[in-house]
Amino acid sequence: MTLPPAFSNLSAPEQLLTLADLERIDRGLAPIAGLSPQLDADAQQGADINGDPSGPSGYSWASNWSGAALSLFNDFSWMYDDGPGSPNIGCSGPRTDGCWGHRANILGQYQTPIGMGAAASGDSQTQLFVAGYQPSLPGGPDLAGEPLWSSIARTLPVGVSPGAIRLSGGLSTATVRVWASGEPMVVRASIATKQSRWTVKPSTCDLQAGSSCVVTVSVSAPAVPSDATLTLAGPNGPQSVALVHTVPEQVAARLRSRTVRVRSSARVIGTLKPGVGHRRVLLQVAQGDHWRTVSRSLTDARGRFTLIDHPRRAGLRRYRVLVAAAGGYEGADSRPLILRGTHAVADAGGAMLTRVTVTDQVRTDITTAMKAGEKRRVGALRLVLSELQKAFKEGGGDELAVLRRERKRRLEAAAQFRDGGRPELAEQEESEAQMIEHYLPAELADAELEAIVAAAVAETGASGTKDMGQVMKAVMARAGGRADGKRASARVREALGA
């Protein structure tokens, strides 16, 4: 249904007349000419006592009552919420006669002329329909008064749905339903746009009251964003539908090198399709469940871009390239890109070599163990690899800390198994602990660790336990992962006289 523009200015009884006629006409039923004063008075008696009104004697009639003050709400309740489970007290179950009775009253195929009365009193509204009501005819004692339905119908605009259209995700066409609620009308469709990329078909709909047609809007340049206004003009004024077309994008990106040395340049190159210049492109790195932007750039006229990052830690880094939606383009992100950051070390001849990360080495050893048929070793290594990858995703780059934690877990489990009388399981845990130890650097000798502690105390100027944090930081940096934190802490305490 399409309400008249002045609907809110009508009285409650006039709104009830309008809604009843709109419901009837949309279903091909004859409208009611207007409200008759005597029938309004009969309807008022029902509204005043919060009940269904009674019609005049000698006529067939039907009536509705609702304990709500809004005409639109009451029309919805009577027409669309009148069955089982609804507020309709006459419909206590699916087979009760009163179910959908209010709807049947509004849509009744009454003998003409149809008389109608309507009234409101506080939170109470009523409708009264009378079949073959002769007094409502011209010259009759209960002549229907203004606003007559004929007057209301001449103000009804074209019905349109939806009120706005957005073509996205590659779509280039959409449909709009147009209907005539109150009277026959010829509707003309046209599009106003500066780009001349939109079309509408058909351009004209010849509609009977209560009927509808479908018009199709299309955009002819799907690779270019655009907007327009669809105008649907009827005899009582136009209706407008906003049209917007956005363009999907794709990001193709790759690492120029999948392995780089720490603090050197990691370059990501790629292309944005369609190729559009001056689109902002972001390079982001994964940190746990979040993404942090590490580089920004703009595309050139062909949509190409280059992004640069400088990894500070060894290990795996997961990147993505992100383009935000803007200017009618929908934005996109690339598939994940995995970079390995490595340390550079010198061999005996002074040549620079790439030091393989622990994660890389574990992967290689898993492959070797699989080829050798060492199922137990494969299973143990996969557990270690899983923990290393988990730590990386959560933003932890200290592989040695992960290895020490996993070795400690297995040694503690071995002790519990031995205490519980399960030596075979204890031996298995101890074997896995030894396997993990293989990936850890050799522990510093006591003399080496003491020398490092002494140098750290001198370097930091520490004089007591209050400086222990500074000393520990220097010691662990010099130890390079070859000393357990607990062991180093004990030596630092001794050196500081704690």
Asked whether the beta carbons of 114 and 123 are under 8 A apart, the reply is no
Q: Which residue has the higher pLDDT, 343 or 450?
A: 450
Q: 10 Å Cβ neighbour count for 23?
A: 21
pLDDT band at 344, cuts 50/70/90? low
Q: Are residues 453 and 428 in the same domain?
A: no
Tell me, what's the pLDDT at 448? Answer: 84
Q: Do 219 and 193 meet the contact criterion of CB atoms below 8 Å apart?
A: no
Please check whether residues 61 and 128 belong to one and the same domain: yes
Q: Is residue 268 scored above 90 in pLDDT?
A: yes
Cβ density class 422-439: b for 16+ within 10 Å, e for less: eeeebebbbebbebbeeb
Which token pair is 472?
């520990």
Distance between CA atoms of residues 81 and 242, nearest Å: 33
Q: Which residue has the tokens 């932890």?
A: 396
Q: 100 and 81 in contact (C-beta within 8 Å)? A: no
Strands (E), 56-146: 61-66, 115-121, 124-130
Q: Does 386 lie in the same domain as 288?
A: no
Q: What is the pLDDT of residues 358-385, one digit of tens each?
A: 888 888 889 988 998 989 999 999 999 9
Of the three residues 309, 342, 375, the one that is the final residue of a domain is 342
Residues 6+ apart with CB under 8 A from 270: 251, 252, 253, 254, 281, 304, 305, 321, 334
Domain that holds residue 364: 358-437
Considering 131, 153, 175, which residue would you say is the last residue of a domain?
153
281-323 residue pLDDT tens: 999 999 888 999 999 999 999 999 999 998 888 888 899 999 9
Among 128, 153, 178, where does a domain finish? 153
Residues 42-68 have pLDDT tens digits of 999 999 999 999 999 999 999 999 999
Instruction: Please give the mean pLDDT across all residues of the chain.
Output: 89
DSSP state of 203: S
Q: Which range (14-28, 132-146, 190-204) has the least confidence?
A: 190-204
Number of domains in the chain: 5
* Angle at which helices 468-479 and 485-495 cross, to 10°: 130
Do 143 and 174 have their domain in common?
Answer: no
At 8, the amino acid letter reads: S
Structure tokens at 89: 């007290």
Please indicate, yes or no, whether residues 484 and 386 belong to a single structural domain of this protein: no
Peptide bond into 248 cis (omega under 30): no
Rounded to whole angstroms, how far apart are CA atoms 322 and 258?
A: 19
pLDDT of residue 498: 62
CATH code (residue 311): 2.60.40.10
| 33 found inside a domain | yes
Is it the case that residue 445 has pLDDT exceeding 60? yes
* DSSP label at residue 35: B
- 304-309 vs 266-273, strand pairing mode: antiparallel
Q: Which tokens hold the place of 347?
A: 């061999």
| Residues 295 and 331 reside in one and the same domain | yes
Whether 34 and 77 share a structural domain: yes
